[in-house]
Structure 1
């Protein structure tokens, strides 16, 4: 198994692909040493056969992983990336195929992400796990993936706008839409804090704007709450004191903060310097990061949050595999990345080729209900079955991973968590959450 980890190696791979094609054509012209036509056959002209031969023999299954290894989401992006790399490592040597996993860094920046995606497209990568943040994912899908018929599947891009893409069915995601998370956070605020007023601080991008709006709409319409101040902010600023002053000056019952870890470090440092460290704060998945309290210099015991849960049928075995491979427990969206890569491998095996359209057409065939259940426990067997054209149903680590017509997952569960003495502790899991209709 090879892993290409930077732009230079991606471009080298594209060159190597051309060289390999040329050598293959030359071999076809000169034939075998004995003057044959290149076919392997018996004296009677029939092709050699082996009853144990796998449909995967001689195949290389390729996919890309496009995640933020640096920038505002870098601390989370690296572990999400490793979740997507894990299925290929798990299967290496367990199935007849070889694996080529091409990785790239979006830098949590839409332009950088699109550039990396274009490099992968130029190298012939047929499917990409990514991107992570919604503002990057939307630009990457519109500019790079959809026009080039490359399948994208994000494990963490949650903006509702992803559902509305005109994508010809090339864009999927294993993370649930924030159309679910916003109402859930409103529910948590009322249940935990008996809150009736809030001020919001949110990142000024597709993710922050959409999730903040989803939350406020639910808080006001379903719980008769009131949003006193709604304050946007730019990423990675040297200070957020003025934004906090506006939000906290309205005297809300709690503060709702939407952002990513790199900005969150400075924002929470400013918060604890100026305000009561017991004042309730709620954050979404983008700020659930085990490194955050140490970086902030505070245990953050006042901060609650929500994040998509890893409670699929394959969750337990996935967690074991992740810890064995990477030496640490998985965190937010790691299981969703594993599932995206596993679905790509299964669909690729069933398609029999590294072709975006063929992979797209087989995703629901391997993931949606019907056929033998495949999980992280028997993934190798599932890949062989998919290659043989047998009916299978992938059951993920994050969820059952059933896709609707828009490429969104049908059901999602959420963990309600709390920072406690610098650790993230799950308070409860809300299974198969559906917002009030």
Structure 2
């Protein structure tokens, strides 16, 4: 049966980790044996590699919380499994991400829910996961470049920006009627990839793209970038970034450049606290983000709010689903081994089999451990992986900022 759970939430700091041990109070820092193959009494080991500080810190901690939630849920339900979960903070940088990925590897974790920033995920895959057969499922990395990487050890519950970029172009040109557009984008894999797809989509729809301006994260001012974009008088400005940089960008915009220009942002800049941090209702700012449109969305939302005292936000459902799939795949494999887990990820997620949702996850772990065929249908969506490790269907939410935060106004669905 399940014992007490350590529910520490640890923020930031080199080597910071939060752990959960089910059915026995393990010390996750000692979870790996001398050969790095894991404790023989553990049924599943999942590392959580997310940005709990740095430019993505405001979004990363809720994502990490959601990734931890399946283990908490199973403990609360008395599931007869022992799951070891350890959290590590990437600080939103590739170098730290690789260091923390190596720490999880050295501690014997063959499966990881992570990372979030696309450049961190790509670097960790190339430097750590592929060579060591660690299975990683990212809940938040959306760069189109990931589609071209091998999909056995790197998958994602987040959709590619090939979809989101085109959806944003449709909103900008067809819905908002923008004839001229400028863009500002974070100078990394996420920003460049989404910008390229968005620009191509706008031009295909007949809009004139006046300027495309990259920027570096967490700068003291973005006046120069705003002068180069908003100063050209576009009908719409699209900005790709993360919350820490976004605070500065929007403060600078409302201080010196606010001429009523419509601004469109993707998931990385959707943060309920942003209007308060900027001290402006931001009513001219629209957003798009992958939604939670799965069979278990409502159950997950209630579960998250009961545990953490707030509603889930962007990529939270995807993080829950990533960890749930890794737990189910490990139990189906019958061993804590990356190669074995990789062989079973699609077996527990893709059709066909007994349908398992977040609400019936406890039943799912029993069936998976018994070798029964299951099909996990998650909070974010069906969670079906193609050969590249991408999702075959996705829901996007379209919303708008206001003085109290951000509200979703519409949803659209896409299928490959």
* TM-score (norm: length of structure 1): 0.87
State the distance in 2 between where 1:327 and 1:14 align: 28
Higher Cα radius of gyration: 1
Secondary structure at 1:212's aligned position in 2?
helix
State the distance in 2 between where 1:84 and 1:9 align: 13
Secondary structure at 2:406's aligned position in 1?
strand
Shift of 1:180: 0.5
State the distance in 1 between where 2:180 and 2:389 align: 35
Matches within 5 A, 1:122-201: 122-166=106-150, 169-201=152-184
State the distance in 2 between where 1:19 and 1:163 align: 35
State which of 193, 204, 207 in structure 2 corresponds to 1:225. Answer: 207
2:238·2:263 contact (CA, 8 Å) conserved in 1?
Answer: yes
Q: Deviations over 1:89-148 (max 9, x none)?
A: 000152211111011000000000000000000111010000001011110111011111
State the distance in 2 between where 1:88 and 1:193 align: 43
State which of 260, 263, 266 in structure 2 corresponds to 1:278. Answer: 260
Q: Deviations over 1:13-55 (max 9, x none)?
A: 565644799xx9xxxxxxxxxxxxxxxxxxxxxxxxxxxxxxx
Shift of 1:277: 5.7
1:3·1:101 contact (CA, 8 Å) conserved in 2?
Answer: no
Structure 1 residue 7 corresponds to structure 2 residue 12: no
What is aligned with 2:327? 345
State the distance in 2 between where 1:351 and 1:375 align: 20
Shift of 1:261: 0.3
State the distance in 1 between where 2:232 and 2:283 align: 23
What is aligned with 1:261? 243
Secondary structure at 2:335's aligned position in 1?
coil
2:42·2:84 contact (CA, 8 Å) conserved in 1?
Answer: no
What is aligned with 2:195? 212
Shift of 1:251: 1.1
Q: Which moved more, 1:394-403 or 1:418-427?
A: 418-427
Shift of 1:154: 0.2
Q: Deviations over 1:47-100 (max 9, x none)?
A: xxxxxxxxxx95432100000000000000000000100000000152211111
What is aligned with 2:341? 359
State which of 53, 59, 67 in structure 2 corresponds to 1:70. Answer: 53
The 3 A distance-change label for structure 1 pair 388 and 81 is same
2:234·2:261 contact (CA, 8 Å) conserved in 1?
Answer: no
The 3 A distance-change label for structure 1 pair 192 and 274 is farther
2:143·2:161 contact (CA, 8 Å) conserved in 1?
Answer: yes
State the distance in 1 between where 2:399 and 2:275 align: 14
The 3 A distance-change label for structure 1 pair 8 and 412 is closer
State the distance in 2 between where 1:277 and 1:311 align: 36
Shift of 1:250: 1.3
1:277·1:302 contact (CA, 8 Å) conserved in 2?
Answer: no
Structure 1 residue 83 corresponds to structure 2 residue 66: yes
Q: Deviations over 1:213-263 (max 9, x none)?
A: 000001101x11111011110000000001100111211111100000000
State which of 109, 118, 134 in structure 1 corresponds to 2:93. Answer: 109
State the distance in 2 between where 1:62 and 1:186 align: 41
2:46·2:109 contact (CA, 8 Å) conserved in 1?
Answer: yes
Structure 1 residue 290 corresponds to structure 2 residue 298: no
The total of aligned residue pairs comes to 398
State the distance in 1 between where 2:360 and 2:255 align: 51
1:301·1:422 contact (CA, 8 Å) conserved in 2?
Answer: no
State which of 379, 397, 403 in structure 1 corresponds to 2:361. Answer: 379
State the distance in 2 between where 1:231 and 1:281 align: 15
Secondary structure at 2:264's aligned position in 1?
strand
The 3 A distance-change label for structure 1 pair 9 and 315 is closer
The 3 A distance-change label for structure 1 pair 324 and 212 is same
Q: What is the RMSD computed on CA atoms of the aligned residues? A: 2.1
Structure 1: segments with no counterpart, 5+ residues: 25-56
